[in-house]
Structure 1
Amino acid sequence: MQNRVREPAPGPQGLIQLASILLAASLVPTLAPGSVRAQTAEADSDASLQGLMTLLEQETRLATKNGMNADFVPGMATILLGQDLIARGVRNVGDALALVPGISQGLEMTGERQILSRGVGYGYASGNIKLLLDGVSMNSTVFATANPVLNIPIEQVARIEVIRGPGASVHGEYAFAGVIDVITVKQQRTLHGQAMEEGEYGGGGAWFWRDPERDLSFSVNALGLEGDGGVAVAEDALYGVDLAELSLAPGSSNESRRYRGLFADLRWGDLFAAVKVLDDDYGDYFGINHFLPPDDSRLASRQGYQSLQLGADLELSQRLSTRLRLEALRHHRDRADLYVSPKDYFLPGQPVFMSQDYQETRYRASADLHWRPNPRHRVLFGLEGSHVEVDEATWDWPEAFAIDFPWLDETRNRQILSLVAQDEYRLNDRVTLTGALRLDDYSDASTYLSPRLAAVWRMNSGHILKLQYARAFRPPTFYELEYPSEGSIDAAEIATYELGYIIRRPFWRARLILFQSDLTEPIVFSDEANGYINNADARLRGVELEYEYRFAADLRVDANLSYVDSVNRGTDRRLPGGTDLLGNLALLWRPVEPWTAALQLRYVGERERRVGDPRAPVDAYTTADLTLSYGSASRRGLYTHLGVKNLGDADVRYPDQAASLGGVELPYLDDYPRPGRRWWLSVGYAF
């Protein structure tokens, strides 16, 4: 076995450096209050100040379904703006989420992204976050994931709204560890092209039309990408079982990709219709059994969505309004010639490939009634019904393998009836209380209650204190119900307590949140039990810090730091896949209009391995992205962005997932390496 030499990980030294940077940034307002603020006041125009205030006054409907300042909603809401993200070098939704405190990334062995919120979300088919696309739930019922949404390029994104922690009291199933709403571009006229070194290339555009006299508008947003890619792999699992002669390693992972996304919206007065088409195809990455697949650019996996939404926003009276929605969504998840094993491992003289087809259809109808009995009181009543059914589920193997059977029961279906009641009451100009309760009744599971109690105290114009208690559930997916280790699988539950504090000033803002979450019977896949089980309870405690300061209209710094202490009560170990420490630091500088330069630093601490893996934790790392931008898609004319990802060529690796055959563990000896330094370019014209 070859031993690969690695550069020393940042470890504690990297942590100390990052903490020092964050501390220095936080002290800037106090070190030179007179000179800095005086220069800022002189340099900033009224328009720049107005832009800053707009930043501070961002609204969101995600937390309560009522439009409200993001700092005043229960819990902590993060809003990421598309134009700001691309200026920082972010290339897709999954990458953008890494800028949110407490959120880290992972990877499944065949290329599916994983998002961990406060350490929750590691493991195969682990959908623990609600993913919305323009308000439409995209989580599949088979795995509770929505990989194509995470791969949407930032060029198609207007903003991303995120709430961390339970959100089931409003959003129901899978709003377990967080809720994310990706809002697509709708009011632009652009054409653009893009390319990345050893990555995707392609382009697209957006078009918008409006007739004010008829109160009629239409928008369409389309983009396509494709390309080959991969990372060098020195050794796969065959080296660990003394079968290196069968391996294709050393070689390259198969990370070929083809993406197609189209979003269209039509609005006429109070009526609206929306169509979404997502097709996300990719290679088999590191191999389903940790056997490195051939680097032949095969698109082994395909996931897609086709969605139609019809609705109306109606003002019934001065105090009463309603939103009605009808949705139809079809999701497919297919595998075509997915690499299973090399030649001579199972079949003499030939490798094994398999194919898999899955398709489900979901229909949903919902009605939200908003009642405002007086200016201080807002009440929400919601009724929602949905039906999900499996249209196709087949699993095809080579004839010599003598296996050909459905991998999922094609008769599976699920009906859900949901009721929501939320009461938001302002005791006075400073204190707002929110109580919510949601009931979800499942035809194939049980009935679940999701409560939330919250208080927001605006102590004065610059200080806000928040308290919240919320519970959420995660029902078993179709796949988990099909493959329990023994007996039945119960829903996982989480209860979270949060204390938040926000300081708002004209040129800076800071946010602090303390939380504790208690997980009850989380659902995980167990190799030992050869199926899904309800694991031992777990506890998480942590703190998240955010800070932003504008020195002037042309210079801004923001940072966040999050720490979580997690423990599995059955093993007394940290939860696998996650890390206790995450940090981000960004500097955005506009030396002259319309040029912008941005430096984005990201620190990820050591990550815990799964139970039973004796190896040391996965090393910490720090990445730096550098981006130079000219113009913006929000302004007419030419715009371009040129950037370098992972400028320092840091060694980035994600913890490998569990894999075994015949009871033999097959770990990936070098985990899942990610690309090193790469350049990218995006060029467009706004009309």
Structure 2
Amino acid sequence: MNLRAPILLLALANSAAHGAQAAEPSAADLTQLSLEQLLDVRVYTASRFSQKGSDAPSSVSVITAADIKTYGYRTLADILRSVRGMYVTYDRVYDYIGVRGFARPGDYNSRALVMVDGYRINDPVYDTGSIGSELVLDVDLIERVEIVRGPSSSVYGSNAFFGVVNVITKSAQDLNGAEISAEAASHGTWKARASFGHRFAGGLEAVVSATGFDSRGPSLAFPEFDDPATGNGVTRGTDYERRSSVFAKFSYAGLTLEAGHSSRNKGVPTGYTGTVFNDARNRIVDTQTFTSLGYYRTTDSGAELSGRLYYGRYEYAGDYLYDAPPVTLNKDLALGEWWGAEVKLVKTVFRNHKLVMGGDFQKNRHQDQTNFDQAPFASYLDDRRSSRRTGLYAQDEYALRDDWLLNAGLRYDTYSTIGGAFNPRFALIHKMSQSTVVKLLYGTAFRAPNAYESFYAYPGQQIGNPALRPEKIKTWEAVLERYLPGNWRLTAAGYSYKVDGLISQVPVADPASGGVLLQYQNLGNVNARGVEFEAEHSSRSGARLRASFTAQVARDDAGARLSNSPKHLAKLNYSTPLFGDRLRAGVELQYTGRRITTFGETGGFLMTNLTLLGARLKPGLELSASVYNLFDRKYADPVAFDVGVPQRDTIRQDGRSFRFKLTYRF
């Protein structure tokens, strides 16, 4: 059976992005800018062209490579945990994004679009946007991450439901030579990486990198298995993880070729759905491959032309051991394979209109799902499908006056499975003064039902639903950005959204057995509203502060609060140089409020992480030491309701852990 199944309640654009980066400060430089200068830092993701962050038709956050080092972030999930209004849930296999009070247990990040250099990595089977250790890219290769809040289907189509996360990789100039890195961490964990980046005399830029990772994993206690027959609920050696990845990027004369491959073997220690507890043969293997060829050029008239051809492949293989009897190994497999093309034109016309127009096509060659027992052989599912989608979009950034911008965009998507969908976005931006910006935003988005929700079936447990309709969302938002003397930046945002036709998994009667099956259905609406506040400060001494607070509430048609939706989030990031600039200390505090689960609720908790970074101890040498969950806080995350025995709806998270890292450049 699929651990993804037993859930209840639930290019050229790349080249254009690279071209926009060329004029940007490096990640290290960004930490030295005053907050007034940060007003002019350019972002790419919100509109698919480079623009000032203050002009973007969304609320945008940027996390840099310097932030990643300063706070010891190990995965994209760690990065997103630090961002205003976002939270992450972990079930000891995958990490799941929560945005503005919405994170359905068991949703595989299908409501956020995740990209690498503008390339969509959400697969065509589960629509998963990977953010954990299964991400195809090593976090050390990230130059910055742009997080765009709010619906963005007007330029990106499906999955850009609550936001877009664009991971922008380091260039040859960022690496500027060879780099080796080694890490040792708690629970028998190690990681090694070798990277090289260089700009050759003829103009060719090259980046190549390879990473290996191995972890024994912690010993875990599960009170629900507290029985002598199951080792009194303690499992050892089953939370293991082994992964490897390679990445390469070559740029020359407007062409960019990019490719990546990763494979992760992750133990499943939780005994989900009645699998044999404390057996290391329960595991999941995720394999991802992509390649992208993009072209970018600027014409004599100033128009920007870009295009991209791409190919992607995702393989999921789950091994689940059941005590039938006899002891039986169940194999659950999925294959997603796709290719596509994109074209885009950006041009300023009539002096004060900046137009972006484009289209994309994607062919999903394989959306295959298979399930069978290995011995004795028994087949339960063999579903093989293909599909295609096409999208056309246009956006106009109209400068009404020097202090007023009107941004209007519209996209039409058509799917071979569900038909078509229009999605607009509007933004009215007023620069009240040199230091104050107000944004009024409205947009809609949709999410097409994926192959897993529509067609996955397992006898006696789950049935498909080919009649699923797309989910839709409408969002209204107001944003105020204020820059104060002394390098202070204040942000306040208020939002309201409504989701129609929410896709969730519900129990339905099984007429054959009289029991209960699970099925994805379009249910009622979700209404949410919230406010976000953030303050950032940069001192002359080099200290930096970022603090945020979020209050939010999301309810269903009956007025009940959604599960896994904290009312309050609070975050603080503070870093300061020590001993001149030889060391830097970064401390991070993250508070997550109480969350409702299927059976009850989880308590709120405060997480503290600490990192000491020595970047200037010796030329080329960088050392860091990190402590995660510094005060060994005990807490649990809500997870997808487990239909196995024993039943549960939360998973305990890691206690205190350590990491030591050495990087040498030459």
Aligned to 2:153: 168
Shift of 1:576: 1.0
Matched, 1:70 2:45: no
Give me the whole-angstrom Cα distance separating, in 2, the residues matched to 1:259 and 1:299. Answer: 16
Equivalent position of 1:476 in the other structure:
449
Superposed counterparts of 1:77-156, under 5 Å: 77-108=60-91, 111-126=93-108, 127-147=110-130, 151-152=134-135, 153-156=138-141
Q: Deviations over 1:347-370 (max 9, x none)?
A: 1xx444311222121111110011
Displacement of 1:85 in angstroms is 2.1
- Output the aligned Cα RMSD: 2.4
Cα deviation, residue 531, structure 1 = 0.9
| Aligned with 1:587 (options 556, 574, 585) | 574
The counterpart of 1:205, out of the listed 186, 194, 219, is 194
Query: Are the equivalent residues in 2 in contact too, given 1:156–1:222 (CA < 8 A)?
Result: no
1:150 Cα shift? 5.6
Match of 1:542 in 2: 530
**Partner Cα distance (2:85, 2:73) in 1:** 18
Which residue of structure 2 lines up, in the alignment, with residue 502 of structure 1?
Answer: 481
Deviations 1:243-273 (A, max 9, x none): x565454113732111222221111111111
Q: Distance in 1 between matches of 2:208 and 2:34?
A: 27
Distance verdict in 2 for CA 1:195–1:132, change over 3 Å: same
Does the CA contact (< 8 Å) of 1:527 and 1:658 recur in 2?
A: no
1:503-522 → structure 2 map (5 Å cutoff): 503-505=482-484, 507-522=487-502
Q: Return the offset for 1:431.
A: 0.8
Following TM superposition, by how much is the alpha carbon of 1:181 offset from its aligned partner in structure 2, in angstroms? 0.9
| 1:221/1:184 CA distance change after superposition, 3 Å | farther
Q: Which residue of 2 aligns with 1:278?
A: 262
Contact kept, 8 Å, 1:334 with 1:355, in 2: the verdict is yes
Cα deviation for residue 47 of structure 1 reads 11
Amino acid at match of 2:494: L
Matches within 5 A, 1:341-490: 341=322, 343=323, 346-347=324-325, 350-390=326-366, 392-400=368-376, 403-407=378-382, 409-410=383-384, 412-483=385-456, 488-490=467-469
Supply the distance in 2 between the matched residues of 1:151 and 1:84 (Cα, whole angstroms): 21
User: Would the aligned equivalents of 1:455 and 1:468 in 2 still touch at CA under 8 Å?
Assistant: yes
1:61 and 2:44 are equivalent in the alignment: yes
Q: Report the TM-score when normalising by structure 2.
A: 0.88
What is the CA-CA distance between 1:608 and the residue it aligns to? 1.2
Separation in 1, partners of 2:217, 2:133: 18
Q: Is the 8 A contact 1:658 1:666 kept in 2?
A: no
Deviations for 1:468-505, whole angstroms, at most 9, x for unmatched residues?
10100010000111046656111111110000000123
User: Paired residue for 2:518?
Assistant: 530
Rounded to whole Å, the distance in 1 between the matches of 2:149 and 2:308 is: 26
Deviation of residue 70 (structure 1)?
A: 1.8
Q: Matched residues in 2 for 1:367 and 1:293: separation? A: 50
Q: CA deviation at 1:293?
A: 3.0
Are the equivalent residues in 2 in contact too, given 1:231–1:673 (CA < 8 A)? no
Give the direction of change, closer, same or farther, for the CA distance of 1:148–1:105 in structure 2 (3 Å limit): closer
| Cα distance between partner residues in 1 of 2:367 and 2:222 | 41
Do residues 228 (structure 1) and 216 (structure 2) align? yes
1:361–1:48: structure 2 CA closer, same or farther, 3 Å change rule? closer
Residue 641 of structure 1: aligned partner:
624
If the length of structure 1 is used for normalisation, what is the TM-score?
A: 0.85
Measure how far apart 1:655 and its partner are: 1.0
Q: CA deviation at 1:675?
A: 0.9
Change (3 A) 1:378 1:50: same
1:624 — aligned with what?
A: 608
Q: Classify the secondary structure of the residue corresponding to 1:406.
A: strand
Pair 637,454 (structure 1): closer, same or farther in 2 beyond 3 Å: same
8 Å contact kept, 2:31–2:66: no
Does 2:208 match 1:217? no
- 1:491 and 2:482 aligned: no
Aligned residue type for 1:170: V
Q: CA deviation at 1:107?
A: 2.7
Aligned-residue offset at 1:524: 1.1
Distance in 1, matches of 2:66 and 2:422, equals 39
Residue equivalent to 2:14: none
Aligned partners of 1:125, 1:370: CA distance in 2, in Å?
35
CA distance in 2, matches of 1:76, 1:251: 45
Tell me the number of residue pairs that the alignment of Structure 1 and Structure 2 aligns: 614
Structure 1 CA distance, aligned partners of 2:31 and 2:297?
Answer: 36
Aligned residue for 1:5? none
Q: Note the alpha carbon deviations across 1:382-406, whole angstroms, 9 max, x for none.
A: 1111100227533221434x63133
Question: 1:266: which partner in 2?
Answer: 250
Contact 2:290 2:313 in 1 (8 A): yes
Alignment partner, residue 660 of structure 2: 681
Letter in 1 for 2:440: L
- For 2:563, the equivalent position in structure 1 comes to 576
SS at match of 1:574: coil
Partners of 1:156 and 1:185 within 8 A in 2:
yes
Q: Is the 8 A contact 1:75 1:467 kept in 2?
A: no
Paired position in structure 2 for 1:194: 183
Measure the CA separation in 2 of the matches of 1:95 and 1:227.
Answer: 18
SS of match in other structure, 1:310: strand
Unaligned runs of 5+ in 2: 1-28, 457-462, 509-516
| 553 and 300 in structure 1: CA distance in 2 versus 1, 3 angstrom threshold | same
Conserved? CA contact 2:317–2:331, under 8 Å: yes
Give the direction of change, closer, same or farther, for the CA distance of 1:81–1:414 in structure 2 (3 Å limit).
Answer: same
1:406–1:487: structure 2 CA closer, same or farther, 3 Å change rule? Answer: closer
Whether 1:668 aligns to 2:648 is yes
Gap change, CA 1:276 and 1:363, over 3 Å in 2: same
The Cα of 1:585 is off from its aligned counterpart by 0.9
Task: Out of 145-154 and 95-104, give the one that drifted further.
Answer: 145-154
| Distance in 2 of aligned mates of 1:292 and 1:578 | 31
Identity score, percent:
21
Q: Which residue of 2 aligns with 1:308?
A: 291
Listed one character per residue, the Cα deviations across residues 606-649 of structure 1 (whole Å, up to 9, x for unaligned) are: 01113xx3x2x10111011111110079x951001101100000
Q: 2:637 aligns with which of 650, 654, 659?
A: 654
Q: How far apart are residue 429 of structure 1 and its match?
A: 1.1
Change (3 A) 1:362 1:519: same
Instruction: Measure how far apart 1:222 and its partner are.
Output: 2.3
- Whether 1:606 aligns to 2:594 is yes
Contact 1:94–1:151 (Cα < 8 Å) also in 2: no
Larger fraction in strand: 2
Change beyond 3 A, Cα 1:553–1:221 = farther
Name the aligned partner's letter for residue 242 of structure 2: R
Deviation at 1:195, TM superposition (A): 1.7
- Per-residue deviation at 1:291? 5.1
8 Å Cα contact 1:111-1:282 kept in structure 2: yes
